[in-house]
Structure 1
Amino acid sequence: MTRNGSRPAPGRGLLLREGEAEQATFVELFFDLAMVFILSRLVAQAFDVLVRAPDSAGWLVLGHTLLLFLPLMRVWTLTTYLTARFDPRRPLVQAFVIASVFGVLVFGVSVAQAFDARAVPFACTYIAMQAGRTLAISLLGTVPEVRRVYLRSLCWYAATSVPWLIGAVTNGHTRTALWGGAMLVEYAASALGWPVPRLGASLANLWEVAARYLAERYQQLLMISLGEPLLSVGVAFTQVPPSPFRITALAVAFTTTVLLWRLYFHVAGQLVGAAALAASRPARVGRVAGAAHLIMVLGIITTSIGHDLVETRPDRHTPLAWSFVILVGPVVFLIGRSMLEYVVFARVSASRLAGIVALAALIAPLALIPPLAVSSIAATVLLLIAAGDTRRAHRHPHEQPTPP
């Protein structure tokens, strides 16, 4: 039986048909709970180092946080594509998802020392989740075209496993370079359709058959991410003596999170699935929309780190690394949001581009003022962009998607 009670088409095995994968099941929501944990660990890890060493080690930890974020997003994406292609109500598919939950849990407990004592378990867990799971699906799959997809990706996962393992047993910049190179190769191979000699290459067409489902899953991921700034800044507030500056910082963090939510869901964020269905090339629109969501999640996580930093010392000196984190979070979010606007409406608002340029240009100058003032300016820029979106909505009510 499928999600809506109908039976799968004969000969299609576990492959879902168009219209069947439109809502997440409980096992998928269970997987999202593990994502909450590891996102909070990424924020806590970066925050701890930036507080202790904002100048020297701060820049390095930001690079490490990004490098840990990228494989996490690959795990989430592969799991989401798995449940979009196969029926998650089947016990075997549920077993794959639950195994992914455990893998993400291991990720989370390894984050703090992923570039130190726990490098081996971190790398081995990632290899098991990507290469191991892909191998199992390619062996158990009953649909030839689906098996070829997983066999092609398995070849690439096997190749990238080598630098992951070598990096796990090396140290310092060598490990960072090997892991970063492995992620670069993996993302490039995915974008090219996992090309393999004799097996060919094909870009994922799941957005053509499960656009609404995938759009909903990316929306859920973004909502999970938006909960992280509220959670982390609330915890940070309880761990320091209250003061008028810290109360103000809490209000600014809340306002910023609300604005990020507003900027995402205002029209474009709600029309991702409809835009993919209306596009002449749904797979292309879907891939760009998916990448836009991951970029926005990175922006939200970076913004959350900035909020925590402000809460600790709202009225003191702002190190350059702090100013960078506080402002680059909204910048990255706006870049992702601009990509989403383009694939939904084939345009990018001037206010969004102006906001990106303004925030990026202010990173160095605003290092001269207290952190609370820096975060307040970032929130003001977001507010002006949101106001521009509202004015446009009044001029163009009921706007429909016009994907490129």
Structure 2
Amino acid sequence: MTPGGQRKPLRAGEGPHESTILDLLLDLVFVFALNRIAEKAIHTLTGEQHLVLPGVGEVLLLFLAMWLVWFFAALAASRFDPRCPEIQVVIFCIAFGSVVMGVSVPAAYDGHGGHFVGAYVAIQVGRPLALTLFQRRRAHQTVVPPPIPTRILCWSVVAAVPWIAGALAPTGVLRGGLWTLGLTIEYLGLVIGWPTPMLGRSRIHDWDLVGEYLADRYRQFFIIALGESVLLSGLTFSSSPFGAGQTAAFVCAFVTTALLWRIYFYRAGTVMKSAVAAATQPARLVAYGFVTHLTMVVGVVTTAVGYGLAIGHPYDTAKPAWLAAALGGPALFLIGRARFEYDIFGRVSRVRIIGVLVLAAMSLVLVRLPLLTASVAAVAVLLGIAVADAARAWGRSRESPAPPH
């Protein structure tokens, strides 16, 4: 606390090491945002075939923008005390902007592009600007080098130019290209440490973070993705005729959600916070968590899209794009989960790699069968992995985390 009784920004090792109630509020916003993105993906995959591939790219771009908003919010709360009133105001503003982005997603490439970009740019520029001003206050000086938010601010301002230009562009193709450029600039800055004249660069690997807090936030966002899956399948099923095919697909969707939860939290997801505490370079483990959880969340959302299609079209022949969602989603999740397991234990279970190969092989056979068949096949593969995990753990003591970093 400062002499005046005001909280200082979070220093390494201080403040809450787990999610706060305000974090939960922000995550509720992203359940809605992910649902809008998944609904847009289903609309794209059921549209004209020659528009599917560019449409998928457009949806992925919107998701990556949403993910970046969430990650930077979590990163800010890991460096600044989320109990500070100023930080709480920043989080509330991010939550409101994220709601606007979610509302604008269905027509982001049409009439609501300005709304989506306006909210996104306001968040991406406003957040580092507020933190820069906040950190410069003498009462709030910390051992953390002040230029970090300033570096991010400089890159965000540069990235805002193609984002705004894209919102003003008359065509969807040009708009998508400009937005891709803006997003690429932001992700490139994140990877290389936002090098800025006179300020240098600062990679997340070198930061002094409260890693346990970010580990908790990663797990929480994974739960968000599972919640979106339940929401999407429930809404789709509630508007269906409740036939045998729709019911079977809905049951498969829920069972899959439970299996994804089980496979994620089987040891690696449960002990992630302990792994961060035991790591020699906790910030590096947190940075790798960005990639692994991004991969797993994309896999979960893609799986949800596949089940949304299966509930709506259980007996239709599986189109390649539909099959990619139904089987590619679980495969992508398993790939991310395999890397996540390596980051926590320094090894990878062969059963996850086998699961990916089996899903890939099934896609060659199921392409001519009803989509519901692919949904059942995905459940069978995930169930086999969950059973193999349980068999491996039977009669053995719990494995302690051994991060290689």
TM range, normalised to the smaller chain?
Answer: over 0.9
Q: Tell me the alpha carbon deviations over residues 127-172 of structure 1, each in whole angstroms, 9 at most, x when there is no partner.
A: 1101122112112214364421011111111111111112112222
- Distance in 1 between the 2:75 and 2:149 partners? 11
Choose from 22, 26, 46 the match for 1:27: 22
Q: Which residue of structure 1 lines up, in the alignment, with residue 280 of structure 2?
A: 280
CA-based RMSD of the aligned residues comes to 2.1
Q: Does 1:348 align with 2:348?
A: yes
Q: Which amino acid aligns with 1:160?
A: A
Q: Which residue of structure 1 lines up, in the alignment, with residue 101 of structure 2?
A: 107
Change (3 A) 1:289 1:159: same
Q: Which amino acid aligns with 1:343?
A: D
Deviation at residue 257 of structure 1 after TM alignment = 0.7
Does structure 2 conserve the Cα–Cα contact (< 8 Å) formed by 1:207 and 1:276? no
Deviation at residue 375 of structure 1 after TM alignment = 0.9
Q: Which runs of structure 2 are paired with 1:189-338 in the superposition (5 Å)? A: 189-204=189-204, 208-338=208-338
Q: Could you list the runs of 4 or more consecutive aligned residues of structure 1 that deviate by over 6 angstroms after TM superposition?
A: none
Q: Does 1:359 align with 2:359?
A: yes
Deviation at residue 206 of structure 1 after TM alignment = 8.6
Q: Which residue of structure 2 lines up, in the alignment, with residue 42 of structure 1?
A: 37
Q: Which amino acid aligns with 1:164?
A: W
Q: Which residue of structure 2 lines up, in the alignment, with residue 86 of structure 1?
A: 80
- Distance in 1 between the 2:165 and 2:107 partners? 17
Q: Which residue of structure 2 lines up, in the alignment, with residue 369 of structure 1?
A: 369
Q: Which amino acid aligns with 2:16?
A: A
Q: Which residue of structure 2 lines up, in the alignment, with residue 16 of structure 1?
A: 11
Q: Which amino acid aligns with 1:253?
A: A
Deviation at residue 276 of structure 1 after TM alignment = 1.7
Q: Does 1:139 align with 2:133?
A: yes
Deviation at residue 330 of structure 1 after TM alignment = 0.6
- Distance in 2 between the 1:185 and 1:147 partners? 22
Deviation at residue 233 of structure 1 after TM alignment = 0.9
Q: Which residue of structure 2 lines up, in the alignment, with residue 388 of structure 1?
A: 388
**What secondary structure does 1:267 align onto?**
helix
- TM-score, normalisation: structure 2: 0.93
Change (3 A) 1:104 1:111: same
Query: What are structure 1's unaligned runs of at least 5 residues?
Result: 2-6
Q: Which residue of structure 2 lines up, in the alignment, with residue 164 of structure 1?
A: 163
Q: Which residue of structure 2 lines up, in the alignment, with residue 70 of structure 1?
A: 64
Does structure 2 conserve the Cα–Cα contact (< 8 Å) formed by 1:278 and 1:403? yes
- Distance in 2 between the 1:284 and 1:166 partners? 35
Deviation at residue 273 of structure 1 after TM alignment = 1.6
- Distance in 2 between the 1:281 and 1:33 partners? 31
**What secondary structure does 1:363 align onto?**
helix
Q: Which amino acid aligns with 1:174?
A: L
**What secondary structure does 1:265 align onto?**
helix
- TM-score, normalisation: structure 1: 0.93
**What secondary structure does 1:342 align onto?**
helix
Q: Which amino acid aligns with 1:220?
A: Q
Q: Which residue of structure 1 lines up, in the alignment, with residue 403 of structure 2?
A: 403
- Distance in 2 between the 1:270 and 1:146 partners? 32
Does structure 2 conserve the Cα–Cα contact (< 8 Å) formed by 1:351 and 1:385? yes
Q: Tell me the alpha carbon deviations over residues 84-107 of structure 1, each in whole angstroms, 9 at most, x when there is no partner.
A: 111222211111011011100110
Query: Identity of counterpart residues, as a percentage?
Result: 38
Q: Tell me the alpha carbon deviations over residues 250-296 of structure 1, each in whole angstroms, 9 at most, x when there is no partner.
A: 11111111110000000000111211221221111111123211211
- Distance in 2 between the 1:367 and 1:395 partners? 41
Number of equivalenced pairs? 397
- Distance in 2 between the 1:34 and 1:203 partners? 28
**What secondary structure does 2:18 align onto?**
coil
Q: Which residue of structure 2 lines up, in the alignment, with residue 4 of structure 1?
A: none
Does structure 2 conserve the Cα–Cα contact (< 8 Å) formed by 1:139 and 1:147? no
Query: What are structure 2's unaligned runs of at least 5 residues?
Result: none
- Distance in 2 between the 1:146 and 1:343 partners? 28
Deviates more, 1:237-246 or 1:393-402: 393-402
Q: Which amino acid aligns with 2:162?
A: P
Q: Tell me the alpha carbon deviations over residues 41-100 of structure 1, each in whole angstroms, 9 at most, x when there is no partner.
A: 1111111232343x2222222211110000101110111111111122221111101101
Does structure 2 conserve the Cα–Cα contact (< 8 Å) formed by 1:292 and 1:339? yes
Q: Tell me the alpha carbon deviations over residues 288-322 of structure 1, each in whole angstroms, 9 at most, x when there is no partner.
A: 12321121111111111111100011112111111
Change (3 A) 1:225 1:152: same
Deviation at residue 208 of structure 1 after TM alignment = 5.0
Does structure 2 conserve the Cα–Cα contact (< 8 Å) formed by 1:323 and 1:364? no
Change (3 A) 1:341 1:400: same
Change (3 A) 1:208 1:17: closer
- Distance in 2 between the 1:372 and 1:284 partners? 41
Q: Does 1:126 align with 2:126?
A: no
